[in-house]
A and B are shown apart, each in its own frame.
Chain A
Amino acid sequence: MSREISYGAAIREATDQLMSESDRVYVIGLGTTDPKSIFGTTAGLHVKYGPKRVLDMPTSENAMTGICIGTALMGMRPIMVHQRIDFLLLALDQIVNNAAKWYSMFNGQQSVPLVIRAIVGRGWGQGPQHSQNLQAMFAHVPGLKVVTPAIPADAKGMLIAAAHDNDPVLFIEHRWLHNTFGPVPEEMYETPLGMANVVREGYDVSIVATSFMVIEALRAAEALARHGIEAEVVDVRSIRPLDVDGIIASVRKTGRLVACDAAWKTLGFAGEIIALAAELALENLRARPVRVTLPDWHTAASPVAAEMYYPTAVTIANEVAALFGKPQRSAQEWKLVRKAPADQPDLSFIGPF
């Protein structure tokens, strides 16, 4: 496990291994074969596997999704890629009415083994229509599976598990994770869908987080530990199917819950986690549960707006501190000052998208 590669490279490696394993797997999406190759995640694959296995496509998200469904019904295993989840809204009919329902509506006669990779994001002036986090909307629909891996090893293992799964899986990548590094085994392996992962053990509070918010939660937990609070960080990994037992076990253990999602608050995923805690572990809750989410308004492009808009490790740390009656602190006081501004994943990222 000593080799470290990026989240983006892990996705590319998983795709390569899947395509090598089965000639039923093909990759399709706008830009898969272009010079930028979906932030490098499909780089070189069209050369290795040829133009019938890695395809660029017309700017027709809806029909192309239906076309992928049609090939899946015929036994192929498409991996469709969208550079922004916002474009996936054009394909809602095919995803919600066909992909999600085909298996049950036709009484299990056929399934739709389709993986849709969609990139969500934050900052760098992407604005209202290029950085939404729409995972809860999709996860609301029975028949769809929705995963949000946060670390490179899970990105690889969950993409492989998603491609082996016989149901449609929406595989959500946060753009800010693509250039994060971590240990990733070289061989092919599955990280099972539907299993959360306790990435930091603690006993005072459960911070349940998805996608990029896992990174913020881990930073918050380190800062909290310096002030005597041991937070448990649960990386949800898969929001549908959801590891309800695993999440509730952590809540029962700590008695406090902070649910973090890089998406809107109202009717969102963080609220779902709190509803589950209220239904299943109310007697264990020693404090009011808390949601850390985006505010209910649209991402403005200005870097100044980013500072106001995005919850960070500081937001999480202060919410936890409030549960313990401890004072609110600044980023400096928490020692959580980021080197990069709020609209930039790290200083090496200088755009353009």
Chain B
Amino acid sequence: MRCPVHLSIGQEAIAVGVSAALERRDFVLSTHRAHAHYLAKGGDMRRFIAELYGRATGCCGGHGGSMHLIDLSANMLGSTPIVGNIVPVATGVAFATWLDGRDEITVVYLGDGATEEGAFVESINFAALKALPIVYVVENNFFSVYSPLSVRQPPARDVVGIAASHGIAGARGDGNDVEEVYRLATIAATHARSGAGPYVLEFETYRWREHCGPAYDNELGYRSIAEFESWRARDPIAAMERRLSQTSTIEPKSREDMARECAAEVDDAFAFALASPFPTGQSFGDAYSSVTAGR
């Protein structure tokens, strides 16, 4: 795999909880760390892994890579890695549904770094101005690459407060608690769909692996082992499993079956990707949709 991957490991609960609160027809756009968002919205796993391998069967035919995930059949409209630059595009998607009086809502995921970009404030200003049906989901994992919040934002900075100063409703929650995410996302989605305007959700969570790539990188010293371990103890998947084992009527046997099915789906996606052809030369070099004279 010759492609920079920005893994969602440790941050799964936000994508799952938010997606569970959406209709399939709702629109989602995302960032460079989009894997979980894409899969949770119903993006095709085979085409996702094939894209990471640069294959013709990938969701971008090998033209995009891991940072550009799209599955139009799931209304996952795309992801981009320039920090903050998907936020206006998503706001435009919501603007289009507003102009046409449609009832889909739009969700855009962004990180704590993106809230420092002008594009974020410009976008929420416009969304508030027109009362657009959009939910901004801020995944605060405390790092922009290796730069911690403390070197980027004053301690009192409050994203939900910034939204509130624009007249936008919002809430903050535990991004590693999938039930809390689902509860808050349902409130936000209902609010947006009712015509009450945009909503800003901020969830705290934590990136387990290196900014980009599959490894752990705590040895670099940009964060403490103690901090990392405290977040690993809050693994959203393990927490959900514990909760289910205490409260759910699901048999242990069927949980094992589910895990096996998931593993098989992942294995199948990797096998599919590795068996897929690379794109041909003819598919490159086409930067334009409409053919014109000249070159």
Contacts and interface: CB of A to CB of B under 8 A. Distances in A.
Contacts of A71: 92-93, 95-96, 99
Interface string B36-79: 00000000000000000000000011111000101010000110
Contact of B293 (A52, A93, A194): A194
Contacts of B87: 63, 66
A150 to B, nearest CB: 16
A238 B294 contact: yes
A76 interface: yes
Contact of B99 (A52, A98, A103, A240): A52
B91 interface: yes
Interface stretch (A29-37, A106-114, A254-262): A106-114
Given A66-B91, A143-B287, A143-B288, A107 B129 contact: no
In the A-B complex, list the 6 residue pairs whose CB atoms are closest, starting with the nearest. Answer: A70-B92, A66-B88, A194-B294, A63-B122, A241-B294, A74-B96
Given A75-B96, A104-B286, A111-B289, A64 B122 contact: yes
A317 interface: no
Interface in A79-118: 93-94, 97-98, 100, 102-111
B99 A67 contact: no
Contacts of A194: 292-295
17 contacts: A58-B126, A60-B122, A63-B118, A64-B126, A66-B87, A71-B95, A72-B92, A73-B93, A73-B96, A98-B85, A102-B78, A103-B287, A110-B78, A142-B287, A195-B293, A195-B294, A238-B292
Interface residues of A, number: 52
Interface residues of B, number: 42
Interface string A270-289: 00000000000000000000
Nearest to A241: B294
A63 B292 contact: no
A219 to B, nearest CB: 27
Contacts of B95: 67, 70-71
A93 B122 CA distance: 14
A238 to B, nearest CB: 6
Contacts of B78: 73, 102, 106, 110
B116 to A, nearest CB: 14
B99 A70 contact: no
B119 A93 contact: yes
B233 interface: no
Given A106-B64, A107-B61, A63 B126 contact: yes
Contacts of B119: 62-63, 66, 93
Contacts of B97: 74
A165 B292 contact: yes
A167 B287 CA distance: 9
A300 to B, nearest CB: 30
